[in-house]
Amino acid sequence: MEQIKEKHEAEKKQLQETILTMRNEANKKTKKAVNRKIIEMETEMKFRHRDEVAAFKESQEENNEDGTREGEGEDEDEEMTPEMLLAQMGLSDAQTKTNNNNKEQVLQESKKKRNRQKERLAKRKAEMEKQQAEAAEEASHQIDFRKNELDTLEVICNNQKVKQVDIIPDGHCLFNSICDQLKLRHDIPTDYKKLRSEAAEYIRQHPNDFIPFLFDEETMSIRDVNEYTDKIANTPMWGGDLEILALSKVYCCPISVMMAASKSLLINEGGVQPELKLVYYKHVFGTGEHYGSLHDL
Task: Please write the tens of the pLDDT for every residue from 30-47.
Answer: 777 777 787 778 878 888
Those residues of the chain that have pLDDT short of 70 are 24, 29, 62-114, 128, 131-143, 286-287
Just give the CATH number of 144-296.
Answer: 3.90.70.80
Q: Report pLDDT for 89.
A: 53
Give start-end residues of each CATH 3.90.70.80 domain in the chain. Answer: 144-296
Cβ pair 36, 257 in contact under 8 A? no
Centre a 10 Å sphere on the Cβ of residue 295 and count the other Cβ atoms it contains: 14
- What is the C-alpha to C-alpha distance for residues 90 and 46, in angstroms, rounded to an integer? 70
For residues 31 and 38, give the distance between their C-alpha atoms in angstroms, rounded to a whole number. 11
- Asked if 22 and 38 touch (Cβ cutoff 8 Å), the reply is yes
Axis crossing angle, helix 192-205 with helix 225-234, rounded to the nearest 10 = 170
DSSP letter string, 223-238: PPHHHHHHHHHHS-PP
| Chain centroid to CA 88 | 63
- Torsion, Cα 230 234 235 241, to 10 degrees, reads 60
**pLDDT score of 178:** 97
- Greatest CA separation for the chain: 111
Half-sphere exposure (CA, 13 Å, Cβ side) for 229?
18
174 contacts 291 by C-beta, under 8 angstroms: yes
Residue 214: count other Cβ atoms within 10 Å of its Cβ: 18
